[in-house]
A and B are shown apart, each in its own frame.
Chain A
Amino acid sequence: MSLAIVPDPEAMLKAAERSGRDWWRRLFHRPPAVIGLAGVAVVTIAAIFAPLLSPYSPVASSFQHILAPSFSPGHLLGTDELGRDVLSRLIYGAQPTLEVGLLATGLALVVGVPIGLVSGYYRGAGDMIVMRVADVVLAFPFLLLAIGFAAIFGPSLRNVVVALGIGSLPGFVRIARAEAMALREQDYVQAAIVTGVRDRVILFRHLLPNMAGPILVQATLTIPGAILGSALLAYLGLGEQPPTASWGTMLTAAQDHLFNDPWLAILPGLAIFITTLCFNLLGDGLRDLFDPALS
């Protein structure tokens, strides 16, 4: 028996590291993904540094300057019906948008992935129950879930996050479950099972890291959905409450001035649109890296 056929573990590690880094580099070779990443970065910076970037407070009204048009002196994008600076409100509006998008997705991921992982690995009765519960959740459109939460617990940002998180759960459960079922049949996992490696180790050290790709893609594509959902709920008055600056509530208020000041409605919608678009571009780029057959 020759030892030469056993691959050098150190070389394998290096190769793995290389392909890991490669993965980032390949992402940067895709113009749409780079545009998406840049857009996401801009929105993130706006959200974090809103107090430094905004010329005014987002809630400070000035009754001398009500409904000022764009490019007015001191107000680049004009003011709204309470004389608040539209540019400042747009910048601050990035905060609840990102908050809901990231928190709802994070909630769905943190709860959904372990459930899917365990039920896909063990199958059996538990798996059946999980899938039926997922069916029940899917039977309620996310809007209905959010409406239910708002009706029972009152409208708030936290309830929006919980409702959108629950609505996005089945997606993560299904992906983690499918991956766990497929990975379980792989030789290295079977070998680990046969050699008596503890289940916990198999689940979290062998299975979880190997499904990181599809889960990352699912997360990147869930965020834009959550952002659209939160904007929609805010628009309906079920999310953030005025006077908090959010793109959805800005749109609601602007609808009363559609005839005279259409830009008040166009700008916040454009902000939601561009943010969602950038997340989708980034998500598509990542998906193409993991599943090149579809690009």
Chain B
Amino acid sequence: MRAYVVRRLGQSIFTLVVASVLVFLGVRAVPGNPATALTGNADLSPAAIAAINRQYGLNQPVPVQYADWLRQVLTGHLGASPVTGLSITAELANAFPITIELTILSMLIGILIGVPSGIFAAVRRGKVADYVGNAVALFGLSIPSFWFGIVLILIFAVKLHVLPASSYVSFLSSPGSNLSHMVMPAFVLGTGVAAVLMRQMRSGMLEALRTDYVRTARAKGLPEPSVVLKHALRNSLVTVATVIGLQIGVLLSGVAVTETVFGLSGIGSLTINAVFQRDYPTIQAVALITAAAVIAINFAMDFVYAFLSPRVQVEGAAQ
């Protein structure tokens, strides 16, 4: 087990380092002078270019620049955005809580809908409940999240006036208002997660229900709910962990758009604004943080996975 964790940790760190090099070089790949690329201003005087080169260390060799940047990232001093003049670290600190809350709420909604409906569909395979569950999952997989958001705004904010259309209120200042602002975006994202979870849960359960240990449990005369919930639940948690690992990237993409639709100023909106303003240092910071988050969550999920399913642990150790 320890060998497995150490090996996965090594892999994760390696992946993160490669990702950080890519993020760093990506901005260097922007055509033209790095100073004009950095500021997004093509008409800089030579003096201004020299000043920017000094300020951002652009006249240093590339490996030195990379090391400097890495030090800035690790110490949390990302400097000021060349476009807005605001501290990038402060901007990230403002945006992060919104995105994290939205991600956690949508994961929760996804799990609360996806897991029970997946179990139910598997147990009732071929019956009406199974078909309804599958149809709902297909709906969740196919609907464009941003459009779903717009439709929800149309129904609940424009027509019925029961929920606010956009903006954000901090949870600490007003929990009720915060949740009423978050419920629509979280539901939009949660449906997508629920759809994937439901399908994975269903096929995982169908497989589990055919295994010998389930047959043994039934042969022992255990009541069916106990067979399903006790013996197959551990299996289902493995599925949840896998799906969270696989879906986190998709979810973070969805978060960016949903934030735009609902006017939430989280990491996603920050990224998209940065792209349109050609604010490369901010793009770099956000790209690295997102990649780090995905890698960290996948590592954590692998760990959970190995913990929940002894088979994986053995396979992993044998590799």
| Chain A positions near chain B (C-beta within 8 angstroms) | 132-133, 135-136, 138-144, 147-148, 150-152, 224, 228-229, 231-232, 235-238, 251, 255, 258-259, 262, 265-266, 268-269, 272-273, 276-277, 280-281, 284, 293-294
CB-based contact A148/B142 at 8 Å: no
The answer to whether B154 has its CB under 8 Å from any CB of chain A is yes
By a CB distance below 8 angstroms, the chain B residues around A132 are 11, 14-15, 18
Q: A139-B15, A224-B142 are in contact. Are A269 and B151 (CB under 8 A)?
A: yes
Tell me how far the C-beta of B316 lies from the nearest C-beta in chain A, rounded to whole angstroms.
Answer: 13
A-B contact sample (4 more), CB < 8 A, given A138-B249, A269-B147, A269-B150: A144-B271, A147-B271, A236-B257, A259-B158
The answer to whether B283 has its CB under 8 Å from any CB of chain A is yes
Q: A139-B291, A148-B287, A151-B280 are in contact. Are A273 and B144 (CB under 8 A)?
A: yes
What is the chain A residue whose CB lies nearest that of B291? A139
The answer to whether B169 has its CB under 8 Å from any CB of chain A is no
Q: A144-B287, A151-B30, A151-B283 are in contact. Are A139 and B294 (CB under 8 A)?
A: yes
By a CB distance below 8 angstroms, the chain A residues around B298 are 138-139
Interface residues of B in 77-114 (CB under 8 A from A): none
The answer to whether B227 has its CB under 8 Å from any CB of chain A is no
CA distance A231 to B207 in the complex (A): 35
Interface of B is mostly: helix
Q: A265-B150, A281-B138 are in contact. Are A141 and B257 (CB under 8 A)?
A: no
| Chain B positions near chain A (C-beta within 8 angstroms) | 11, 14-16, 18-19, 22, 26-27, 29-31, 138-139, 141-148, 150-151, 153-154, 158, 203, 206-207, 249-250, 252-253, 256-257, 260, 271-272, 275-276, 278, 280, 283, 286-287, 290-291, 294-295, 298
Q: A132-B15, A152-B29 are in contact. Are A140 and B287 (CB under 8 A)?
A: yes
Partner of A136, one of B19, B150, B276, B280: B19
Q: A265-B154, A269-B151 are in contact. Are A232 and B206 (CB under 8 A)?
A: no
By a CB distance below 8 angstroms, the chain A residues around B158 are 258-259, 262
Q: A144-B271, A148-B287 are in contact. Are A232 and B257 (CB under 8 A)?
A: yes
27 pairs from A and B in contact (CB 8 Å cutoff): A135-B15, A139-B15, A140-B287, A141-B249, A143-B256, A143-B257, A144-B271, A151-B278, A152-B27, A152-B31, A228-B142, A235-B146, A235-B257, A236-B257, A237-B276, A238-B275, A251-B146, A251-B150, A262-B158, A265-B150, A269-B151, A272-B147, A276-B143, A276-B144, A277-B142, A280-B138, A280-B141
Tell me how far the C-beta of A140 lies from the nearest C-beta in chain B, rounded to whole angstroms.
Answer: 6
CB-based contact A293/B150 at 8 Å: no
Tell me how far the C-beta of B266 lies from the nearest C-beta in chain A, rounded to whole angstroms.
Answer: 13
Tell me how far the C-beta of A156 lies from the nearest C-beta in chain B, rounded to whole angstroms.
Answer: 14
CA distance A224 to B195 in the complex (A): 14
CB-based contact B138/A269 at 8 Å: no
CB-based contact A251/B147 at 8 Å: yes
By a CB distance below 8 angstroms, the chain B residues around A235 are 146, 257
- Most A CB contacts (10 A, CB to CB) among B139, B144, B207, B260 go to B144
By a CB distance below 8 angstroms, the chain A residues around B14 are 132
CA distance A168 to B119 in the complex (A): 29
CB-based contact A147/B151 at 8 Å: no
By a CB distance below 8 angstroms, the chain B residues around A152 are 26-27, 29-31
Nearest 3 pairs of A and B residues by beta carbon? A269-B147, A143-B253, A277-B142
CA distance A238 to B274 in the complex (A): 13
By a CB distance below 8 angstroms, the chain B residues around A259 are 158
Tell me how far the C-beta of B29 lies from the nearest C-beta in chain A, rounded to whole angstroms.
Answer: 5
CA distance A284 to B137 in the complex (A): 12
What is the chain A residue whose CB lies nearest that of B125? A295
- Most A CB contacts (10 A, CB to CB) among B139, B253, B256, B287 go to B253
By a CB distance below 8 angstroms, the chain B residues around A293 are 206-207
CA distance A113 to B148 in the complex (A): 34
CA distance A229 to B276 in the complex (A): 19
